[in-house]
Each structure stands twice: as C-alpha cells, then as structure tokens.
C-alpha cells in the first residue's frame, strides 16, 4: 500500500512499473494490479541484480576488507584443526575470526560455512558435526568474510598428516587450472572463456569437473546472474566480481576444494583473496 501511495503521489501510477515477480508473494502482486489498473506492470526479475554486477570503487574497497577477513579465517583454521578436536569447536574458532575480522575491520555478518571432513569430502555444503578430527583426516573448508553485506568466498583443503599421493596430484592439477583460468580473465572475455580455459587445463591432465567454475559474487553470497560455465556468454567488464569456485567432488568419499574471489580490472584480474594456494598440512 505504501509503495502504491507513493507512485500515485509522484504521478507514476499510470506508467510502466517493473516488479520482481519471482520474489513477490502472489497476493502482493495481485494487489499491485488491483490498485494500479492504469499501470503497465512487467516482470523485472533480476533487473537490479544485473545492474549491480559491476561494483563501484567503494564497493571493491569493502570487498577487499571482506577478503582479508576470509584469509584470516583460513589461517585460523590451520591453527585449530587438530587430532582430537571436535569439528564444532574448531568451527567456533573460525567463526570467531570471521566476526573479529582483520586489520582492525570486524566482520559484519556470517556467510555460509561448510566444513566437510573425512569421509565426507566428496560432499559439498555440509556443516560441522560432533565428530572429532583424527590423524589422516582431510578437511575441505569453505568460508566467506563479510563487511557491510559484501563477502568474499574462499575455499582451502587441509590434511592432518601428509596428503595422499592422489590428493597431491589433484591439487597440482587444480592449481595449474586455476592459474590458467585467472590468465583468461580480462575485459571482453566471456564467462565461458574462463570456464573453458580451466576445464581444458585439467582435462588434458586426466581430471574433470562436472560443475560450474564459479559465479557472480560480492553482494551477499550469490548474485544469481552470470556463471563461469561453458556457454555463458556474459562479457566480463571492469569491476565485476566473481567467486572462482573450483571445488571438485570426484567420488562419494573423495573431493578437493580451492577457490578465490576476484575482480575484473581494466587490463586483467585482481585476486582479492590471498591465502596460500596449498594443501594445509597439520
């Protein structure tokens, strides 16, 4: 009612009006049509989301702060993941770092946290449990530092003890592919170009990734617009930001994760997250 009253007050009640019908309850959409019989109401789903795909310099500055928080949490995880420690207790310390922040800038929210440990490393997006870490465990961690609603996703893999030869090999292949993908990022390239560069790199080394390689990212976790996948012809433009998400869930009980949050620059790419691209051996 307040929105309709405002549109009438400013003389726009008989104009074209865009509404995100994907998110609006059907009764609210019906009420808009009933109270604005002279308006042309169109579905404007994702119109604003596409506009905010390109960030301002101020938004980028805030995302850098969020990325620093992500880096700090990844380092903290390497300090608290230990044999005999409960997953829940380790996560409590990681979350505390996400709240305390980095460089004097506290976190202002908690984005989704996934901690997948052996034997669940072949599964994504599951939370911590009551289980305790054991020698030989692998831990796949995904976190996102947050500042004022802006976030920077980051994934790293940890092992308690030495990684298996298989895990080392997957890590080497994926990091090489990550670097190839970053080299493909520049204004004028497409999301598909980046994904295909990564996939070609790992496939020639005998590995395959079934899921997309990333997505538009920054304002909240997901910006449901562009995806780094084959066939997405969205053109990369300066100050677009993405989560280059290279988690690879290969078998039911085996997977590996690594990711970076990046910004498209005038000439290439700026990787906002800076945690070492290594398997963290505990």
CATH number of the domain bearing residue 83? 3.90.230.10
Residues 107 and 40 in one domain: no
Residue-number span of the structural domain to which 146 is assigned: 57-281
Q: Please indicate, yes or no, whether residues 39 and 166 belong to a single structural domain of this protein.
A: no
Residue 51 lies in a domain: no
Coil, strand, or helix at residue 115? strand
Write the burial class of residue 157 (CB in 10 Å: 0-12 exposed, 13-18 middle, 19+ buried): buried
Looking at the structure, tell me whether residues 85 and 215 fall in a common domain: yes
**Domain shared by 73 and 15, yes or no:** no
Residue 63 counted as domain residue? yes
Q: Looking at the structure, do residues 39 and 63 belong to the same domain, yes or no? A: no
193 DSSP assignment: H
Please tell me whether residues 37 and 93 are part of one structural domain: no
> Residue 15 gets which letter from DSSP?
S
Query: How many independent structural domains does the chain possess?
Result: 2
pLDDT beneath 70, residues of the chain: none
Residue 138 and residue 265 in one domain? yes
The residues, ordered by sequence, that sit 6+ positions from 251 with a Cβ below 8 Å of its Cβ are 122
The answer to the question of residue 268 being in a domain is yes
- For CA atoms 46, 141, 122, 178, give the dihedral sign: positive
81 falls within a domain: yes
Token readout for 115 is 């901690």
Both 62 and 19 in one domain: the answer is: no
Examine residue 52 and state whether it is found in any structural domain, yes or no: no
The answer to whether residue 50 is domain-embedded is no
Are 218 and 131 in a shared domain? yes
Q: Quick one: 273 and 207 in the same domain?
A: yes
- pLDDT score of 162: 98
State the pTM of this model. Answer: 0.92
pLDDT tens column, 182-224 = 999 999 999 999 999 999 999 999 999 999 999 999 998 888 8
Quote the pLDDT of residue 97: 98
Same domain for 68 and 38: no
Same domain membership, residue 204 and residue 89: yes
Q: What pLDDT was estimated at residue 176? A: 99
Backbone angles phi, psi at 180, to 5 degrees: -65, -45
Give the pLDDT of residue 112. 79
200, part of any domain: yes
Query: Has residue 257 been placed in a domain?
Result: yes
pLDDT one-digit tens code per residue, 29-67: 889 899 999 999 999 998 989 999 999 999 999 999 999
How long, in residues, is the chain?
282
pLDDT of residue 247: 97
């Amino acid at each position: 009612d307040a929105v309709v009253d405002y549109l009438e007050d400013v003389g726009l009640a008989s104009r074209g009006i865009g509404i995100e019908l994907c998110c609006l309850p059907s009764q609210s959409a019906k009420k808009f049509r009933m109270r604005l019989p002279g308006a042309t109401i169109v579905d404007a789903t994702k119109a604003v989301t596409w506009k905010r795909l390109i960030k301002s310099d101020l938004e980028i500055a805030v995302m850098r702060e969020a990325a620093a928080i992500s880096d700090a949490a990844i380092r903290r995880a390497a300090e608290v993941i230990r044999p005999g420690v409960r997953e829940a207790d380790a996560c409590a310390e990681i979350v505390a770092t996400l709240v305390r922040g980095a460089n004097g800038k506290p976190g202002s929210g908690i984005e989704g946290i996934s901690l997948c440990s052996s034997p669940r490393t072949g599964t994504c997006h599951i939370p911590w449990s009551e289980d305790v870490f054991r020698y030989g465990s692998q831990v796949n961690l995904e976190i996102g530092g947050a500042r004022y609603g802006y976030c920077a996703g980051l994934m790293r893999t940890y092992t308690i003890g030495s990684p298996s030869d298989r895990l080392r090999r997957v890590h080497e292949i994926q990091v090489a592919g990550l670097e190839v993908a970053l080299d493909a990022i520049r204004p004028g390239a497409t999301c598909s170009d980046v994904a295909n560069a990564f996939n070609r790199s790992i496939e020639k080394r005998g590995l395959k990734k079934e899921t997309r390689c990333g997505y538009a990212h920054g304002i909240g976790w997901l910006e449901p617009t562009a995806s780094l996948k084959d066939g997405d012809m969205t053109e990369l433009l300066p100050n677009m930001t993405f989560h280059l998400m290279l988690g690879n869930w290969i078998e039911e009980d085996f997977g590996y994760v690594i990711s970076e949050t990046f910004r498209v620059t005038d000439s290439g790419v700026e990787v906002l997250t800076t945690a070492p691209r290594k398997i963290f051996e505990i």
